A = this chain, B = another copy of it.
């Protein structure tokens, strides 16, 4: 084993150029309660794009060099430089989650117990060959589970579970989910089906509708339908799904869902006065697939809420005991309810190739990429 490992780093320069490259760093020495994981599988999640290609003009992208010297560069449009002020000139590590084999362990019992095991981890800087972690932060996979199977234990699984937990903790009994054919959406369907939770899936294309119905989804509504609001209201009326998680954010979708919820709450009576129904309607916006402004017509009285939502602060609110239980459940069902699949597996240097970037930056459903940093060894 070499004494250094490569780490993927993302930098935006003052002259508005994004540079993503690899940096060699010494393999860290673990303290008593720490472990070093040889990373073998880390998904490219939508949330990773913020530090990768989110602000770049990919039509200007080019890859130079090879192996450890591979560099991807692209221009940042002038009007987006405002959005990245805080990170200009800072070389940042990337990668929210991943898994691999514990190759070094500190002297403590918890660390020693993990030596040689495959563990899943979350916390940033995962696109690297060797990652130092506290032993207690690692989620051990059971025998027979590969690093590839364990790669996505946190971002999608904990988000899907947090959605149903938040639903229950805020007193709702069903969910609406938009952009519902996503990897996360499919996982949420499996969770809801297993747990008997009513889920109204909103998609915008027929093939997405077919995909979810093929998975056994009972309520799938297509936003391209001429009768979208009425069809959505009918599904909400049957399921009493007055909480929605929305990945789109911009345009009229939040308004559509609130209006359909109010339609369901008033049983098609139409408006029941300026204050609306007494059924509280909550939309959590957790993504921004549309960067347009969110437009609210407010035709549904005053008994509604729209809020930004992120998994991590939400888990803080749910509390440590609940989160531990959620982690255990994910580990136990990582090859069923919480299984992920990947279209392509690339090395760290492979992830910097312009043709791969063009594909994974799109984050199309069913086209997920996995980085295997051990391929660069």
Contact = CB atoms under 8 A, between A and B. Distances in A.
A169 interface: no
B298 A295 contact: no
A294 interface: yes
A250 B84 CA distance: 30
A296 B294 contact: yes
Contacts of A285: 298, 302
Contacts of A305: 305-308
A273 interface: yes
Given A50-B274, A84-B271, A297 B293 contact: yes
Interface residues of A, number: 40
A228 interface: no
Contacts of A249: 298
A309 to B, nearest CB: 6
A172 interface: no
A254 B168 CA distance: 29
B270 A50 contact: no
Contacts of A276: 308
Contact of A87 (B54, B273, B293): B273
A308 B283 CA distance: 12
Nearest to A288: B298
A86 interface: yes
Contacts of A303: 308, 310, 313
A298 B86 contact: no
Stoichiometry, copies per complex? 2
Contacts of A275: 50, 310
Interface string A84-98: 111100000000000
B313 A308 contact: no
A272 interface: yes
A338 interface: no
A307 B304 contact: yes
Contacts of A278: 313
A296 B307 CA distance: 11
B86 A271 contact: yes
Given A250-B298, A293-B297, A274 B310 contact: no
Central interface residue in A271, A272, A298, by most chain B CB within 10 Å: A298
Nearest to A269: B86
A1 B224 CA distance: 66
Interface of A: 50, 54, 82-87, 249-250, 255, 269-276, 278, 285-286, 288, 293-298, 301-310, 313
9 contacts: A54-B274, A83-B271, A275-B310, A286-B302, A294-B296, A301-B308, A303-B308, A305-B307, A307-B307
